[in-house]
Amino acid sequence: MTQDLSITALVLQASLVVQLVMAGLAITSLVSWTVIFGKLFGLRRVRNSNDEFEREFWSGRSLTELNQAVTKKAETSAMERIFASGMREFFKLREKHLDAGAQLDGARRAMRASFQRELDVVESNLSFLASVGSVSPYVGLFGTVWGIMHAFVGLSNLQQVTLATVAPGIAEALVATAIGLFAAIPAVVAYNRFARDIDRIAIQFETFIEEFSNILQRNAGQPAAAAAAMGSGVR
The DSSP annotation for 78-106 comes to HHHHHHHHHHHHHHHHHHTT--HHHHHHH
**pLDDT single digits (tens) 32-66:** 999 999 999 999 999 999 999 999 888 888 888 88
Q: Regarding predicted confidence, which is higher, 78 or 226?
A: 78
Paired with 62 in beta bridges are 231
Nearest to 19 by CA among 121, 150, 185: 150
Phi first, then psi: give them for residue 231, nearest 5 degrees.
Answer: -110, 170
Alpha-helix runs per DSSP H in the chain: 7-13, 16-57, 63-72, 78-95, 100-122, 126-155, 163-219, 224-228
**pLDDT single digits (tens) 206-223:** 999 999 988 888 877 665
How distant, in Å, are the alpha carbons of 36, 171, 183 from that of 189?
Answer: 10, 27, 11
pLDDT of residue 31: 95
Identity (one letter) of the amino acid at 90? F
Phi first, then psi: give them for residue 233, nearest 5 degrees.
Answer: 80, -165
pLDDT of residue 165 exceeding 70, the answer is: no
Exposed e or buried b per residue across 135-163, where buried means at least 16 C-beta atoms within 10 angstroms of its C-beta:
bbbebbbbbbebbbebbeeeeeeeeeeee
**Most confident stretch, 7-16, 110-119, 225-234:** 110-119
pLDDT of residue 82 exceeding 90, the answer is: yes
Using pLDDT thresholds of 50, 70 and 90, give the confidence band for residue 5: low
Instruction: Domain ranges for the chain, please list them.
Output: 7-228
User: How many whole angstroms separate alpha carbon 38 and alpha carbon 32?
Assistant: 10
pLDDT of residue 17: 79
Nearest to 64 by CA among 41, 43, 91: 91
Question: Could you give the 3-state DSSP secondary structure of residue 231?
Answer: strand
Tally of CB atoms within 10 A around 118? 20
**pLDDT single digits (tens) 10-28:** 666 667 878 888 889 999 9
Nearest to 233 by CA among 101, 69, 63, 104: 63
Paired with 231 in beta bridges are 62
Using pLDDT thresholds of 50, 70 and 90, give the confidence band for residue 158: low
